[in-house]
Amino acid sequence: MDAPAKQFKIVPEMMATIVLVIGLLSLIPVGVYGRSAFFAATPQLVEPTAENPNPISAAFNPHRAEHVAYALAGIIGAAIAVVIAAWTMMGRDLLSTRERELSAMKGLLAFGALYGGTVMLFGFGLFILWFESISLWLDGGDTKEAYKVLIPVAVVVLGAAIMFLGMQPARAEERNNPAIRRLIYGTNLGLSALLLLFALLAVNIVLTQRLPAKLDTTESGFYSLTEGTKKYLATLDQSITIYTNIPDRDRESSDVRRLLDATQEANPARVAVKPLSISRDKDEIERLQTKYTQYNFDSYWVLLVATDDDNRTAFFTIRDLFGVEGADARGRGGKDTFVGESKLMREVLFLGANAVKPVVYFTQGHGELSIGAAAEVGPAGRTANALKAILEKNYVIVKPWVLDLADPKVPDDAAVVIIADPRAPFSPTEATALSKYMIADHPGNRRGKLILLSSPFPNPDGTGVAEIGLEGLLLDYSITLGRNYVLSEPRGQVSYNMQIIAPTMRSLQSGNPIAGFISDRGLPMIDCRRVDVAPPKGEDPTMKPEMLLGTGGGRLTWFDSDPPKDPLSQLEAMAKNPQLQQKFRLTDSSIPVAAIVTEGTTPRLLVVGSGASFADSGPRSRSAPPVGMVAAAVDWLRDRPSLPIVNKTYDNFILPKSADGFRLFYLPVGLVLLAITVAGFGVWTVRRK
């Protein structure tokens, strides 16, 4: 038998010390990134300022996935080092010098295999996390973040080197010690498998970028633009830039990116798609946030900008591109549908047509929120200039409309009329004028569009809830305003008169842009009243009212018919008196506070049971400011052209009944196992020789 090579002698104490030092060094990324990886800050309502209109909350960390990877790799590496060092030193005083040396060889071999394998897997993880940068480098030649291509390669090579070097001291004992021989063979197998996986991964990435899969083999042409879309894009004479932060990862995001790429390919001279990365293009995203404050950039989104006038824009989120067809009233059942092409083309048509700015009128003269200076209207805080500014940034002309009592006719150029928190009733003549505006045809075959934002306010004697004089008009559209003040138990910074509003599931599934703007982040509103939807009139009504927003459940909520004076004492009294609970209708369920009405597929009316929320003194939220909801509502209501595009439905493939389970599952699995067994037997035979 071969004598052990003296040059490979290993002192267990030194080996254990080196391993422990490596383990301690592995804890550095845990200390640096552990907090941001595993302990997210609590989201707060952040007040925007003139210098920073889009503050980023402490809870927002676009690099959290990377930090989790760093911290987990450090924890696993440190754990491996501690276990191997402890195992090497265990019982060393009872072993001979030769046995201690063999034990150290085994420990170093095991450490190299486990630690090196972990490092290689960490490198694979970086490939996945930074895939977008790799894609941009290979596909578009963008080398700004070339380090995100080189670092994963270097990490994988480092891990392979650790595994390889960990085996070398034990090579001298490979023929003499069966345990060491098995460890070496196992490490060799693991290293070969990981290197093969790395090679396959690299080749697939390169081929994917160099040979993109643009062939649509679906029977329905799911991934192809319709002929009408292609013809319109080919004749587009308005240049449009499309910004998006949607990554190309899962099915939904891949479908959106395919759509955008196909749109650009249809007319690359007029349409430019610019994908943005949250980490790589942070400055560009912040520039867009600062310029277009009317939009909510707190999710995956698409922004269209007209090149000749960058104030003409359109915006939607990834949620707006998907819907459900055939669902029941509770949103159950139905098929997932991709509405991306129709949604995108509506916006492209609008921007490409050089459309005239729509005019939005704010009624004045009934104590509404003023769109002028505070000095012009008296009470501080009763202005809506932030709302006016965000609408004007949304390519809208905003004008006040003081009703003429002799002839209160809505201006002919009114695209939308907004009634923002009136504090005095409209006269019957004024209500009739608004009713005529809603039912009459206007230039361009337009019908009247109305937004009512109405908080409850008391009668002149300070009691009850006063009428606004438009209750009859709302009843014509099956909408009723509550005659109560909605109150809830306070929680943290959320006071008794503040509600956190969320969209209904049905409105989200239908792709309503108002619901999509709020999404699942919640919208703070103050001084709310209930808004109810009655059954539509007639057996086949053209008007379709439906609930849009409701209070978040889980908070005790009640209704007071008089202006609230001491709601906390009121809540304490209800806790002891079931009769008071019934009187004030105490509940922890969601309360409807907003509704919409459509005529066929044409939006007509939005009613929100809060007007104070949209004043300059109202609540603020970075993720979903209330004034941004009105901008989304105007987008929803304004007239836009459309192409006859059929939405595409996701269908599940069902195997025919004649499908053979043995050939589909058991035969492939059996063949794979047989191949592995034969390959292993061949390797064993060769090694024996």
What DSSP character marks residue 174?
A: T
Instruction: Point out which residues pair with 543 in neighbouring strands.
Output: 599
Instruction: Report helix, strand or coil for 397.
Output: strand
Q: Which pLDDT belongs to residue 654?
A: 63
Q: What is the pLDDT of residues 592-618, one digit of tens each?
A: 999 999 988 889 999 999 999 999 888
The region of weakest confidence among 47-56, 128-137, 396-405 is 47-56
Average pLDDT over residues 513-535: 84
Contact of 479 with 596, CB cutoff 8 Å:
no
Q: Which pLDDT belongs to residue 689?
A: 55
Q: What is the pLDDT of residues 426-454, one digit of tens each?
A: 999 999 999 989 887 655 557 789 999 99
Contacts of residue 557, Cβ cutoff 8 Å, sequence gap at least 6: 486, 487, 488, 489, 499, 551, 586, 587, 588, 589, 591
Q: Which residue has the higher pLDDT, 420 or 681?
A: 420
d(CA 370, CA 400): 8
Q: Is 316 left (phi over 0), alpha (psi -120 to 50) or beta?
A: beta
Written as one letter, the residue type at 569 is: S
Average pLDDT over residues 579-602: 89
Q: Which pLDDT belongs to residue 655?
A: 62
Query: What are the φ/ψ torsions at residue 453 (nearest 5 degrees)?
Result: -115, 110
pLDDT at 421 over 90: yes
CA-based nearest residue to 275, from 285, 287, 265, 290: 285
Contact of 319 with 519, CB cutoff 8 Å:
yes
Average pLDDT over residues 203-212: 60
What percentage of the chain carries pLDDT values higher than 90?
18
CA-based nearest residue to 448, from 639, 190, 644, 656: 639
The region of weakest confidence among 77-86, 179-188, 362-371 is 179-188
Q: What is the pLDDT of residues 618-658, one digit of tens each?
A: 887 655 678 888 888 888 887 555 555 556 776 666 666 66
Report the chain's C-alpha Rg in angstroms. 33
Q: Which residue has the higher pLDDT, 330 or 614?
A: 614
Contact of 619 with 524, CB cutoff 8 Å:
yes
Give the burial class of 374: count Cβ atoms within 10 A of its Cβ; 0-12 exposed, 13-18 middle, 19 or more buried.
middle
| Cβ count near 538 (within 10 Å) | 8
CA-based nearest residue to 606, from 342, 372, 419: 419
Q: What is the dihedral of CA 431, 434, 440, 441, to 10 degrees?
A: 180
d(CA 166, CA 222): 52
| Cβ count near 253 (within 10 Å) | 16
- Which tokens hold the place of 673? 């196992």
What string of DSSP letters covers 599-665?
A: ETTEEEEEEES-SGGGSTTS---SSS-HHHHHHHHHHHHS---------EE-------TT--HIIII
Q: Cα 129 from chain centroid? A: 18
What string of DSSP letters covers 265-315?
A: HH-TTTEEEEE--TTTTHHHHHHHHHH-TTS--SSSEEEEEETT-TT-EEE
pLDDT at 42 over 50: no
Q: Are strands 313-317 and 322-325 parallel, antiparallel or unpaired?
A: unpaired
Label residue 134 by pLDDT band (50, 70, 90): low
Q: Are strands 240-244 and 301-306 parallel, antiparallel or unpaired?
A: antiparallel
Name, of 171-180, 223-232, 391-400, the range with top average pLDDT: 391-400
Label residue 479 by pLDDT band (50, 70, 90): very high
Q: What is the pLDDT of residues 351-378, one digit of tens each?
A: 766 556 788 999 998 999 998 754 444 4
CA-based nearest residue to 599, from 447, 453, 443: 447
Instruction: Write a three-state SS string for 332-352.
Output: CCCEEEECHHHHHHHHHHHHH
What DSSP character marks residue 359?
A: E
d(CA 284, CA 290): 10
pLDDT at 303 over 90: yes
d(CA 170, CA 173): 5
Q: Cα 577 from chain centroid? A: 44
pLDDT at 399 over 60: yes
Q: Are strands 414-420 and 359-364 parallel, antiparallel or unpaired?
A: parallel
- Which tokens hold the place of 267? 């007319």
Average pLDDT over residues 404-411: 81
Average pLDDT over residues 50-71: 60
